[in-house]
Chains A and B, each alone.
Chain A
């Protein structure tokens, strides 16, 4: 009997609190001189206890960037929540370079007012506020962290984003157990979207971050589904004979590129999500798979072994022209393009080992980012700063992340089982 459950990702029902995280994100290598920053506990102006420790969430986000070294709360000499309570000497004494203070109030929504100070110069750099529903208290805190990160680095923060991933519990006596989970980018608030004893593969996000698509073998054959996170509503998009694989939404959200082998060998097709019309894009007896969109929606990158070995090719929609993109190495596959349309994260084989690498479409330079040897499924954060990927540790698949410039590295060990195929959400503009 098929064992399958589809879940609603209704956030009112979801869990909060650190203890339920499946992934614990650890910085394994930060930058040499991370910037010291102090996030003083935020004041709470509401009934009962604060729903979250906002300062703690912001502190953890900044620490997880690998670029900041937060000051421990125990070392703080004073705990200001208003500008007039700040004594810069208290912060200079503990060598904090920057200070963040804030206040949280609760009306119809949560409202966080916060400010960032340059301790050395003794001035306010920036103040702002973020509001959101109480059940998204953690996301509200992540948005504060995004704003501070952007102010200090010039790069848009991506803490208020989410991840989907597949976890697998091995069962040597029978079928493995698969789970598709969505969690905040810090691994907290995991929500299971689908689970069962049949493989779940190739999860990807809709450009508005409200839906996911994936491949499930629940009908004993692969089929492509889309699922709305908020309601759990699910639609089967394809279940042709042969492969049904690699669904990726176009940047405008109107169509989906995917892989079918119904006409012989695997080729790239375009599915119009409204009319359900299917257009075949590539036509080759070799394997064409793993499509990914350029951010402008004008062309797609894909993996093909038409040259004998898997390499990345580009398909231009207007002309149908196909050109080879990668030439370095015997194996380049599963590309994902950063929002800048320039950096391409992919799996690159070097000396028989499979690494995550970044290929620059402009300079055509390949930079290997990892030392591990069985890496796969790279996915780029929507701000282009980090690549999350899956790799092997012993018999288990685990997640890792690395800065696009290779400087900072993270591991995201799971509590148990294997975790694979991470996909980073786009920027989320609504709750």
Chain B
């Protein structure tokens, strides 16, 4: 009887020990898991923070680039408006002067930056016949177009039209008026 009890107790102790031991091993596992989770969370948090920071940096960079682009565009627009949108020609000529080329360069730079379209309007002075002058005005507009295309602007972004002698800027008859009327306008 006693032996049996002792055995029983021992068995119980073993069992408990086993239980305890079992308990203690579960706790360690849980602790490790929790730690891992915490570590993961921390890592994730860190990654998220880093991503946010990167995003912010990128946004800032983008903003800065946009601002720079805007600034560049403004600068190009200022440059284009500084050279004006009217280019003048010699009598019966559709050759671009050096001044006109430099001025058109400014417009080309702006077009390459902003991707916009232009309309080139060719004009002549009142001398000679109206219909021949329509052709001369077109030749002038085309000379500007060809120069723009050679500078890299796609041809489809440029429309040309000639008004011949129909839309003078200056109405008088004489070289001072005529020279103002022989022109191509960018619109």
Contacts and interface: CB of A to CB of B under 8 A. Distances in A.
A243 B129 contact: no
A289 B132 contact: yes
B132 A199 contact: no
Interface string A370-405: 000010110000000000000010010000000000
Interface in B110-145: 126-132, 134-136, 138-139
Contact of B131 (A172, A246, A265, A395): A246
B122 to A, nearest CB: 10
Interface in A225-255: 242-243, 245-246
B166 interface: yes
Contacts of A266: 135, 138
Contacts of B164: 201
Given A201-B134, A395-B173, A333 B161 contact: no
A242 B160 CA distance: 7
B167 A176 contact: yes
Interface of A: 170, 172, 176, 199, 201-202, 217, 220-222, 242-243, 245-246, 259, 261, 265-266, 287, 289-290, 303, 310, 331, 333-334, 347, 349, 354, 374, 376-377, 392, 395, 420-421
Contact of B132 (A334, A374, A395): A334
A98 B127 CA distance: 45
Given A170-B171, A221-B161, A392-B173, A243 B130 contact: no
A287 B162 CA distance: 14
B163 interface: yes
B135 A347 contact: no
A375 to B, nearest CB: 9
Contacts of A245: 131, 134-135
Contacts of A201: 130-131, 134, 164, 166
A334 B129 contact: yes
Given A172-B171, A199-B163, A199-B167, A377 B130 contact: yes
Given A287-B132, A395-B173, 20 more contacts: A170-B171, A176-B166, A201-B134, A201-B164, A242-B160, A246-B131, A287-B135, A289-B131, A289-B134, A289-B135, A303-B129, A303-B132, A334-B130, A334-B132, A347-B129, A374-B126, A376-B128, A377-B130, A392-B126, A395-B172
User: Is the interface on chain B under 10, 10 to 19, 20 to 34, or 35 or more residues?
Assistant: 20 to 34
A376 B134 contact: no
Nearest to A291: B131
Q: Is the interface of B mostly helix, strand, loop or mixed?
A: mixed
B117 to A, nearest CB: 14
Interface in B143-187: 160-164, 166-167, 171-173
A234 to B, nearest CB: 21
Most buried by B among A172, A243, A331, A395: A243
B132 A333 contact: yes
Contact of A243 (B127, B128, B135, B173): B135
B24 to A, nearest CB: 91
A284 to B, nearest CB: 12
Q: Which 9 A-B pairs have the closest CB atoms?
A: A334-B129, A287-B135, A199-B166, A333-B129, A266-B135, A395-B171, A290-B131, A289-B135, A246-B131
B171 A334 contact: no
Contacts of A287: 132, 135-136, 139
A392 B168 CA distance: 14
A377 B129 contact: yes
A279 B19 CA distance: 107
Given A199-B163, A266-B135, A395-B173, A421 B130 contact: yes
A376 B172 contact: no
28 contacts: A176-B167, A201-B130, A201-B131, A201-B164, A217-B163, A221-B161, A222-B134, A222-B162, A243-B134, A243-B162, A261-B138, A266-B135, A266-B138, A287-B139, A289-B131, A289-B132, A289-B134, A289-B135, A290-B131, A303-B129, A310-B128, A334-B130, A334-B131, A374-B127, A376-B128, A376-B129, A420-B130, A421-B130
A211 B138 CA distance: 29
B145 to A, nearest CB: 11
Contacts of B134: 201, 222, 243, 245, 289
Contacts of A222: 134, 161-162
A224 B167 CA distance: 19
Nearest to A335: B129
A309 B161 CA distance: 23
Interface string B28-47: 00000000000000000000
A202 B129 contact: no
Contacts of A392: 126, 173
A60 to B, nearest CB: 31
B128 A347 contact: yes
A220 B139 CA distance: 18
Interface in B84-134: 126-132, 134
Given A176-B167, A242-B160, A376 B130 contact: yes
A347 B167 CA distance: 21
A354 B130 contact: no
A217 B130 CA distance: 14
Most buried by A among B132, B162, B167, B172: B132
B121 to A, nearest CB: 10
B127 A354 contact: yes
A356 to B, nearest CB: 11
A330 B144 CA distance: 26
A220 B161 CA distance: 9
Contacts of B128: 310, 331, 333, 347, 349, 354, 376
